[in-house]
Amino acid sequence: MLKIGLTGNIGSGKTTVARVFEVLGIPVFYADDAAKKVMVTDAGLIEGVKQAFGSDAYFADATLNRKHIANIVFNNADELAKLNALVHPAVFRAFYAWAATISNAPYVIKEAAILFESGSYKLCDQTILVSAPLEQRLQRVMQRDGISYDEAASRDARQMSEDKKIKLADHVIINDGGRLVIPQVLSLHQHFTAVKG
């Protein structure tokens, strides 16, 4: 089955695009949600996190001590990379296990904020980048999360630049408020369905 990666920088509207694909009957795997889930269900990952960040990484009831982890990885690129190196393979496993259960769709979509940064785009047959101008994306994030311009810009700066992602992506959906998104999604849907067929 065709596996399509879907990504976009903060405020691009990738989740909105994912929902349009869902309306068309395409199953969508949300990598961020899966990452939260595997942190408390994947035994190998849990053991790795405890070894890397100490037994305080989990509470007695086996829930994740997010504050403990955040205090270690926040503003520490090496520690964050260590965490990502543990989490990403577990999310890959979860994605493949999930995709194996889908039999009634022409393709599936993996929606991931860091599709290119994590290298998981290499496991997809094709990729889609949702693109929007920087100022527009920052305004959306400010409105959505109730944060300042500087906070929104700081979050965006922590991601790979959109220009680099455009070069890596197989397809680009423009979500600038001018071009309609649904016709772009429908065009890609027809393309992927034809590839499958």
Question: How confident is the model over 27-62, as pLDDT tens digits?
Answer: 999 999 999 999 999 999 999 999 999 999 999 999
Give the residue extent of every domain in the chain.
Answer: 1-27+106-197, 32-101
DSSP result, 25-86: T--EEEHHHHHHHHHHH-HHHHHHHHHHH-GGGB-TTS-B-HHHHHHHHTT-HHHHHHHHHH
- Residue 195 has what pLDDT? 82
Q: Is the pLDDT of residue 196 over 80?
A: no
Identify the CATH class of 1-27+106-197.
Answer: alpha beta
pTM above 0.85? yes
- Residue 77 has what pLDDT? 84
